[in-house]
Amino acid sequence: MADQIIIDRLRNILKDPLPGWDAQKRLMPEGRQRLELPQFDDLHPAAVLIALFPRDDKWHFPLIKRSSDGFAHSGQIALPGGRKEGSETDTETALREAHEEVNLSSEQVEVIGKMSPLPIPVSLHMVQPIVGMVNSTPHFQPDPREVEEIFYLSLEELVSTPITFEKRSFQDRTWDIPHFHIQGHKVWGATGMILSEFRQLISQII
């Protein structure tokens, strides 16, 4: 059985001051505006869910490969989540989106805390990561309109995966793009920045 102590420690850590931008910017793609304290106006609120669940005696969480729909994050690796609707709270948004995208019922999820919000200028969103847990392995099922694939990352694999760099050419020059190479997928951009902070928190526990 996955160790409940890890969840209890994570719950407490999420109540303390978070590393925030200092941890997020380690996975910030080169070429993005570099601000020590990013401030952006008129960003639409959004939320994503890190849904921890037990699998093979370890805590895992799902990552998704978004469908190739032509939008800003088409085909990228992401956490389940999306835009806030109406008067929803951040938590309600994350839970609703997780249900829609990967068939995770909100009734199964116990929310244990929040991480630092992250601005995403390219899609004009301010994303709030929510951390939750599920007591047993859910029956995940992708919504084919939004999700091409679901895969599962353990906390141990997240902590042990190094940051690697890939050179990409755009705007008439070559840029170094940091990412995590996980199970054949490149996790970069906003998702990489969120997981960079999460990895720093988890590194204090396991």
Stated pTM of the model:
0.92
- Average pLDDT, integer, range 6-30: 95
pLDDT of 9 higher than 90: yes
Total domains in the fold of the chain: 1
Domain that holds residue 113: 4-31+39-202
Mean pLDDT is lowest, of 14-23, 57-66, 124-133, 171-180, for: 171-180
pLDDT for residue 99: 98
**Is residue 42 packed enough to be buried (19+ CB in 10 Å), middle (13-18) or exposed (0-12)?**
exposed
Outline where 1-114 has alpha helix (H): 4-13, 21-24, 90-102
Domain with residue 11: its CATH number is: 3.90.79.10
To the nearest whole percent, how much of the chain has pLDDT over 70? 90
- Average pLDDT, integer, range 113-132: 93
98 contacts 81 by C-beta, under 8 angstroms:
yes
Residue 176 confidence class, pLDDT cut points 50, 70, 90: confident
Distances from the Cα of 67 to the Cα of 70, 142, 151, 202, angstroms: 9, 10, 14, 29
